[in-house]
Structure 1
Amino acid sequence: MNLFFTYVLALLVGIGSAQKVGVKSPVGFGCWNCAFKWNFTVPFEIGWYDKHCKSDIFLTTALNCVHMYAEKQEDIAYGYSYIRDQCHYWGNRTLNMRELSEIYTQNVKNMIAATEVKPGQPVYNPVAIPRQLFNKELTMANDAKSHYRLGTIFGCSMIAYWALVLLIASIFHYLRLFRPTKNRRTQQTANRIRKYLTLPAVIGDKHHTPYNFLHLFHITAPTRGQALIILLFIVINIISVSICYDLDDSYPMTFASKGDKIARFLANRTGIIAFTNLPVAVLFACRNNPFIVTTGWPYDTFMLFHRWCARMMVIQSIIHGVLMTWAASQENILIFKWNHVHNWRGGNIAAYFMIFMIFFSIRAVRQRAYEIFLSLHRIFFIIVMVCLIVHCSDFGWMGWIWATVVIYFGEHFLRIARTVYSGGLVEAQFSIVSADAFRIRAYGRRNWVIYPGQYAYIRVFDRHIFWQSHPFSVFQAERGKSSNSLELIIKSQNGATKHIYEYLQTQPEGSTTYKILIEGPYGNYSAISTYDSVLVLAGGIGITAMYSYVRAMAATIKDGQRIMLMWVLGCEDLVHAFDEELRRLLEFPRSNVEVTLCLTQRTPPQSGQVEVQGNNASDHSSLRPSDRVQSSSTEDMFDQKNHTSTMTVKEGYSHSEPSEDSEISLEQFIQYGRPQIGETVARFIKTSVGSKAILCCGPSVFVDDTRDSIVSHIQESSMRVDYFEEAFSW
C-alpha cells in the first residue's frame, strides 16, 4: 500500500509542478516581444538574440516597459525574471537581478517616446513602449498562458482516463475475489461479456500467435477489451491536440501569420501532452507496478499499454519537434538555435533517441535479439531523460520529468530490495532432467512465501551470461525451518538457457552448482480453489506454472469440487522428469483429481513393454510395465459418475501427505496423439457442474486454441465460466 501511495504522490507532484510553467510573467512576455519592434543597431543575422541581449538599450526598453505596466511589485520581479531567463535561454548572456536593475538605472534617463522614432530608422536610445502596442502583446501573452494551462489540463485527462480504467478493473477484480455472485442471470451476463469483449482477439482468433507482415513485422492482436481501451486512449489524445485553439485573425508581432500562430500552439500542446504520457508509460513497464495487484491483470497486459503510451508520446514529440523546427526555419534562426541554444539541442536529441527506441522495440528485434534490445532500450531511455532535463531546465514542465525519475529509480530500488529479501546471492543446483530441459533447486529466505502461478527473475553468475536476468515460473516451493527450497524446470531454448544446458552436458551426471540471484516473487495468484469445477490445460513446459495450482487445490479440495489436468507434450522424457511430482499429485485421496497425459510424438508401446528414456534408466524404474496399457480418454475426464481418479490408493492413508506405498502406474493416464482442445473445452463447459474455471499455460498456438474454444462455447454454460491464462508474450 505504501508503494501505491508513493507512485500516486509522484504523479501528483508532477501535475502540481507542471502548473507553474509556461508564461510565468505575461507582462515580461509582452514587454520582451514589444522591444523587438525597433532597430537597436543590431543586424538580423545568426546570433540575433545574442546581440540583442548584449544591447543595454534593448534591455532597458523591455525593463522600462515592465515598470510602466506592472500593477504590483511582485509583477516587476516576475517581469525581470522573465527577461533574465530569455537572455539566458536565447542570448547566451547570464544576468542576475542586480545587474538588470543597474542596466535599467543607468539608461532610463535617456528614454525617448515611440513617436520620435521613424520607421526603419536605427535607434540609439531606449524607447518607451506605448500602451496600445503593449496591450496587443499582453493579450497574446495571456492567450499563451491559457493555452499552456489547457495543455496541462488535456494532459491530465490522459492520467484521469487511465485512473478510471484501472479503478474499474480493480473493482471488478475485488468483486470476483471477495464477492462472487450466485445469481444465474448475472453470471450469464458475465459470460456474454467474456464472449464478445474480454476474451476474443480483435482480429481473427489469434491473440498470442503473431501475424507476420513482410517477414519483418510480427504483430499480435489484443483482445477486444484491450483494443477498446487503447482506441479510447488514442481518441482522447487526438481530441486533446485538436480542440480549443484561438483561430481569430489577430496575431501580434510574435507570429508572422495565422498559420504560424496555430503551428506554434499545436507544437506547444503536443509537447506538453507528450510529457504527461511519459510517467504513465514508464509506470506500466515496471515489474513492481502496484496496479498489477489491484487489477489482477498480468504484466503482459500492462506491457501492451506501455507500448501504446510510448508510441503516442513519440508521435506527439515528433509533431512538436517538426513544428518547432518549421517555425525556427521561418524566422531564419534554425542554425543559431542548434549551435547556441542547449535546450533546443537537448529536445532534438531526445526526439531522435525516442525514434530509435521505437524502431529497436519492434517484435522482430525483441524476439531475435532480446538482450540487445533490452540494453539499447535502457541506454536510450537514460539519454532521453538527460536530454529532456536539459531541454526543460529553463522553462518548466520539470514536474513530469521528476515524477518519471521517481518511478524509474523506485522500480529499480524495489528490484534490489526483492533480491535482498529473497536471500541475496544463493547457491543453486542445476541438473539435466530431459533432452531439452534442466532443473534448478535453490534455497531462499524462510519468510519468502510463494503462491501458485508466481515467477521469479533468475540471474546466473556465469561469466558469459551474468548480466542477464530472465523470468521463470516457480515449479514448486517448500517451506523449511531455516529456508525455503525453490524449484524451477526450464526448457533450453536460445541465449542463456541454451548456454547453461550445453554446459551441463559437459558435466559429470549432467549436474553442477551456480551462484544465483533470485528476484521475486512476481505475478498474481488465480484463486481457482473457489470454483466447483476446474480444467487445467498445460502445453509442454507450461506444466511448471500449472502444477503448483493443481497441487495446492488438491491439498485443500472440498467435497463436490473437481479438478482436471490435461498435459499435452511432445515426448515422454519430460514425463520422467516430472515422475515424482506427478505421483505426489495423484496420491491424494478424496482429491477428485483427474489427470490425462497426452503424448503427441510417440506411438503406444507394445503390450507388456514400457520404453524408458532419459539420462539414467534406473531413475525411472518406477514406471513399471503393465499387462495392458490403458489410455485415459478425454471423455473419461468428464464422466459425471466418476468424481475420483482411476488410481489405486491403499486404505487408511491421510490426505495431508502422499503415501510412499501407493501402487500407481502413470501409463494408465497416458493417451497418444494430439488431443482436440476444442472438444475438451466444450465438453467441460457443457457437463461440469457449478462455477467453472479454465486455466491454461503453453505455447502460443495452444493458448490461442483454448481461448477460441472458450469463446465459442462459453454461453452453453448456465453458470459463470472464468478463464485464467499464464502466458508470456514478446
Structure 2
Amino acid sequence: MFDYKFNNNSQLFGPKVFQVTRFLADRAGILAFAHLPLLILLAGRNNLTILLTGLPYKSLIMYHKWTSRMMFLNSTFHGILYSLIEIKKGSYLKSFKTDYFFWGVFSTIVCGILMFQSLHFFRNHYYEIFLYGHILFAGIFFLFIYYHCKRLGWHGYIHLSVLFWASDRVIRIINIIRFGFPIAKIRYLSDDTFKVTIKRRKNWKPFPGCYIFIYFLKGKNFYQSHPFSIIDSILNPNEITIYIKIKEGITFEIGEMLKKSINNNKEINIRVAVEGPYGHGPNFKNYNNILLIAGGNGIPGPLYDAINMIKKDGYKNLRYIKLIWVVKNFESIKFIYPELLRLIGIDNNNNQNKKINTNRMKNLVDIEIYMTRVSNEPIFSNTETSDKNGSLKSFKKLDSLMNELNTSKFELNDDFGNNSSSNLAAMDITDESNLITNSNSNSNINLVDLDSLLNNDVYEINEDNFKPENLNQYKILKKIGQYVTINYGKRPNFEEIILQNFKYTKGSICIVTCGNSSMCDSLRNIVAENVSKCSYQVDFFEELQVW
C-alpha cells in the first residue's frame, strides 16, 4: 500500500474525497498505460515471450485477450472517476473541451469497440470484419491516447508498444522473403479437403510440432494468412505438405477454384507466401509413453511427431507410442495413406523403409483409427469389424474369392484409366501403382454383395456389379491392416482410454491432441479431472492452431 498523504483543505485537489478519487483515477490510468507494451508483445507472432516461456502462440493470444480486458477495465475506471470529480465540481462540460479529457473519453470508447468486435462470434463468422476492424481501431486508439497524454507524459509506453509492433512486422517480412514465393500445387482430395504441396529451400527446416502462416496470393483474400500444421513430404525432402479442410473465407474460395479447374482435374497452381516455421512441440525424449490423439484434419501434427520419434534413435527412454485418429469415413484415411505407410515402415513399393526400424515400430507403435460414419466393414463384408483379426478375416475371405476367379473377366471402366479387359485375380492388390486415384466417380455402378457371391456356383464380376473405388479401399486397408486397428461406426471413449493409460502404463506420459476445439476441450478436462489417478508424471499438450 502506498502511504498517501491527505490534506483536508488542499488548494490543488480540494476536499479529501476528491483527493482519494483523484489518486485512484491516476493509479488506474497509469496501470492502463502500463498494459500497452505487453498487450502488443503478446499479439506478435515473433516475440521473446515464446522463446522465454515455451508457451504456444494460442496461449499468448489468450493472455493478449485478458491483458486487453484488464486495460479496458482500468481505463474505464480511470475515466469514470475523473468524470465523477468534474460532475461534482459542476465543471464537466468545461473539462470535456480540454484535449486530455476529450481524447481520453474517445480513446476509451474506441477501446470498447475493439473489445466488442473481437468477440469470438465476429472472428469466427466475419473474419474480414474482425481483421480490418482490429487494425483500423487499434491505430485510432493509439492516435487518441497519444493526444490524450500529449502534455502529460507517459509516452514511453506508446513508443515501446510501437517498437514491438514494428519489429514483429519486420521479422515477418524477412521470413516471407527468406522462404520465397513458390508456386504451390493444390489438389482436391475428398471429404471437402485439399492438399497443398510447397517446395522449400534446403536451409528452411521444418520440425515436428511446427506450423506456418500461409498466404494464397490469388483472389480477393490474398492478404489473409492462417496457421496450419505441416508435415514433411515423403515424396520429396524439399517439399512440405499441408492438408486443409474447406470452410469459409479463403479455403472456400480455393475450393471453388478447384471445382472449376481446367479439364475438371481438380488441381490448380497458386503462388504462395509462407511465414514460419513457428512453434515447438514437446520434448518427447523426456517421456516413457506417448499418447497422440487426432481428429479429422488434425492428423498431420501428431503423425509427424510419431514418424520423427520412430525415425530417430535418440528416444532411448521411449517404451510405447499410441496414435488414435478419429475420422468420418475412409476418404480421410486415403489422403494420408502415404504418410501412414511411412510410419508403418514400408514404402510405396511395399519394401522396408530404410529410414525406419520396422521392428522398433512394431514394438513401440499402436495405431488405432475410428471411422465414425461407417457402420461396418464398408468394402466386401457386412460383418462389423472392430479389431485387427476381424479385418484380416474379411481380407482372407476376399482373397479366397479372387483366387477362384482365375477365369473371370470384367471390363475396367474409366475409373481405372482404360477400358481393356483384365483378369481380376491376376491383379497385384499389394502394388500401390494399381490404386485408383479418382474415387469421386459419378458412375451409377452398384457394388455386388460379394458375401452372397461366395455362396453361388457362378461368379460373374462385370461393369454392372463392380465398383472400382471399393478395390482401392480394399488395397489400402489390407496394406495397413497388419499394423492398424480400425473401428467401424464407433467413437472412442476418451475417458476410458485415458484412465487405462493412467492405470497400466509404467513411467511418464505425454498426451498430445490436435483436432476440433470441442475434442481438445473434452480431452483437457478428462486429463485434469483424472491426473491424480496416475502415479507418474503426466503432461498435456495441444497442437490446435488458433489466431
TM-score normalized with structure 1 length: 0.57
Q: Indicate the residue corresponding to 1:474 in structure 2.
A: 230
> Which residue identity does 1:722 align to in structure 2?
D
Aligned residue pairs, count: 447
Cα distance between partner residues in 2 of 1:312 and 1:716? 37
Deviations 1:236-262 (A, max 9, x none): xxxx7xx6443442322x234322222
Q: 1:601 aligns with which of 373, 377, 397?
A: 373
Q: 1:546 aligns with which of 290, 302, 312?
A: 302
Q: Indicate the residue corresponding to 2:145 in structure 1.
A: 388
For the Cα contact (< 8 Å) 1:597–1:670, is it kept in 2? yes
Q: Indicate the residue corresponding to 1:453 in structure 2.
A: 209
Cα distance between partner residues in 1 of 2:278 and 2:19? 50
Give 3-state SS (helix, strand or coil) of 1:524's partner: coil
Task: Note if 1:251 corresponds to 2:10.
Answer: yes
Q: Indicate the residue corresponding to 2:312 in structure 1.
A: 556
For the Cα contact (< 8 Å) 1:317–1:351, is it kept in 2? yes
Cα distance between partner residues in 1 of 2:416 and 2:247? 25
Give 3-state SS (helix, strand or coil) of 1:602's partner: coil
Task: Note if 1:697 corresponds to 2:514.
Answer: yes
Q: Indicate the residue corresponding to 1:534 in structure 2.
A: 290
Q: 2:48 aligns with which of 266, 290, 299?
A: 290
Q: Indicate the residue corresponding to 1:519 in structure 2.
A: 275
Cα distance between partner residues in 2 of 1:572 and 1:498? 23
Task: Note if 1:490 corresponds to 2:244.
Answer: yes
Task: Note if 1:721 corresponds to 2:493.
Answer: no
Within 5 A, what are the aligned runs for 1:502-517? 502-507=256-261, 508-517=264-273
Q: 1:437 aligns with which of 176, 193, 196?
A: 193
TM-score normalized with structure 2 length: 0.75
For the Cα contact (< 8 Å) 2:415–2:436, is it kept in 1? no
Cα distance between partner residues in 1 of 2:3 and 2:265? 72
With over 3 angstroms needed to count, the CA separation of the structure-2 counterparts of 1:479 and 1:432, relative to structure 1, is closer
The Cα shift of 1:268 comes to 1.4
Q: Indicate the residue corresponding to 1:107 in structure 2.
A: none
With over 3 angstroms needed to count, the CA separation of the structure-2 counterparts of 1:554 and 1:246, relative to structure 1, is same
For the Cα contact (< 8 Å) 2:234–2:339, is it kept in 1? no
Higher mean C-alpha deviation, range 319-328 or range 512-521: 319-328
Give 3-state SS (helix, strand or coil) of 1:664's partner: helix
The Cα shift of 1:320 comes to 1.7
Cα distance between partner residues in 2 of 1:308 and 1:700? 19
Q: Indicate the residue corresponding to 1:499 in structure 2.
A: 253
For the Cα contact (< 8 Å) 1:450–1:477, is it kept in 2? no
Within 5 A, what are the aligned runs for 1:321-336? 321-336=79-94
Task: Note if 1:575 corresponds to 2:391.
Answer: no
Give 3-state SS (helix, strand or coil) of 2:479's partner: coil
For the Cα contact (< 8 Å) 2:368–2:486, is it kept in 1? yes
The Cα shift of 1:617 comes to 6.9
Q: Indicate the residue corresponding to 2:463 in structure 1.
A: none
With over 3 angstroms needed to count, the CA separation of the structure-2 counterparts of 1:478 and 1:394, relative to structure 1, is farther
Cα distance between partner residues in 2 of 1:599 and 1:317? 52
For the Cα contact (< 8 Å) 2:186–2:270, is it kept in 1? yes
The Cα shift of 1:273 comes to 1.2
For the Cα contact (< 8 Å) 2:230–2:241, is it kept in 1? yes
Q: Indicate the residue corresponding to 2:404 in structure 1.
A: none
Q: Indicate the residue corresponding to 2:71 in structure 1.
A: 313
With over 3 angstroms needed to count, the CA separation of the structure-2 counterparts of 1:384 and 1:437, relative to structure 1, is same
The Cα shift of 1:430 comes to 0.7
Cα distance between partner residues in 2 of 1:616 and 1:510? 15
Deviations 1:264-320 (A, max 9, x none): 222211111111111111111111122222222111222221111111111111122
Q: Indicate the residue corresponding to 1:52 in structure 2.
A: none
Give 3-state SS (helix, strand or coil) of 2:182's partner: strand
> Which residue identity does 1:664 align to in structure 2?
K
For the Cα contact (< 8 Å) 1:693–1:721, is it kept in 2? yes
Q: 2:496 aligns with which of 679, 683, 688?
A: 679
For the Cα contact (< 8 Å) 2:288–2:509, is it kept in 1? yes
Give 3-state SS (helix, strand or coil) of 2:200's partner: strand
The Cα shift of 1:478 comes to 6.9
The Cα shift of 1:582 comes to 0.8
Q: Indicate the residue corresponding to 1:304 in structure 2.
A: 62
Q: Indicate the residue corresponding to 1:268 in structure 2.
A: 26
Give 3-state SS (helix, strand or coil) of 2:204's partner: coil
- What is the aligned-residue RMSD (CA, Å)? 2.9
Cα distance between partner residues in 2 of 1:504 and 1:623? 20
Give 3-state SS (helix, strand or coil) of 2:223's partner: coil
Q: 1:369 aligns with which of 120, 126, 129?
A: 126
> Which residue identity does 1:249 align to in structure 2?
N
> Which residue identity does 2:17 align to in structure 1?
G
Cα distance between partner residues in 2 of 1:620 and 1:338? 77
For the Cα contact (< 8 Å) 2:227–2:545, is it kept in 1? no
> Which residue identity does 1:485 align to in structure 2?
E
The Cα shift of 1:407 comes to 0.8
For the Cα contact (< 8 Å) 2:217–2:271, is it kept in 1? yes
Give 3-state SS (helix, strand or coil) of 1:269's partner: helix
The Cα shift of 1:408 comes to 1.2
Deviations 1:67-103 (A, max 9, x none): xxxxxxxxxxxxxxxxxxxxxxxxxxxxxxxxxxxxx
With over 3 angstroms needed to count, the CA separation of the structure-2 counterparts of 1:572 and 1:307, relative to structure 1, is same
The Cα shift of 1:729 comes to 4.9
For the Cα contact (< 8 Å) 1:542–1:698, is it kept in 2? yes
Q: Indicate the residue corresponding to 1:405 in structure 2.
A: 162
Cα distance between partner residues in 2 of 1:435 and 1:536? 23
With over 3 angstroms needed to count, the CA separation of the structure-2 counterparts of 1:621 and 1:298, relative to structure 1, is same
Higher mean C-alpha deviation, range 572-581 or range 291-300: 291-300
Q: Which runs of 5+ in 2 are unaligned?
A: 346-355, 382-393, 400-413, 418-431, 438-449, 452-476
For the Cα contact (< 8 Å) 2:8–2:14, is it kept in 1? no
For the Cα contact (< 8 Å) 1:478–1:484, is it kept in 2? no
Cα distance between partner residues in 2 of 1:307 and 1:459? 25
Give 3-state SS (helix, strand or coil) of 1:463's partner: coil
The Cα shift of 1:474 comes to 0.9
Cα distance between partner residues in 1 of 2:201 and 2:14? 68
For the Cα contact (< 8 Å) 2:510–2:540, is it kept in 1? yes
For the Cα contact (< 8 Å) 2:34–2:157, is it kept in 1? yes
For the Cα contact (< 8 Å) 1:623–1:665, is it kept in 2? no
Q: Counting helix residues as a fraction of each chain, which structure ranks higher?
A: 1
The Cα shift of 1:714 comes to 3.0
> Which residue identity does 2:374 align to in structure 1?
R
Q: Indicate the residue corresponding to 2:525 in structure 1.
A: 708
Q: Indicate the residue corresponding to 1:664 in structure 2.
A: 479
Q: Which runs of 5+ in 1 are unaligned?
A: 1-239, 629-661
Task: Note if 1:281 corresponds to 2:35.
Answer: no
Q: Indicate the residue corresponding to 1:345 in structure 2.
A: 102
> Which residue identity does 2:505 align to in structure 1?
S
Give 3-state SS (helix, strand or coil) of 2:299's partner: helix
The Cα shift of 1:334 comes to 3.9
Cα distance between partner residues in 2 of 1:410 and 1:394? 27
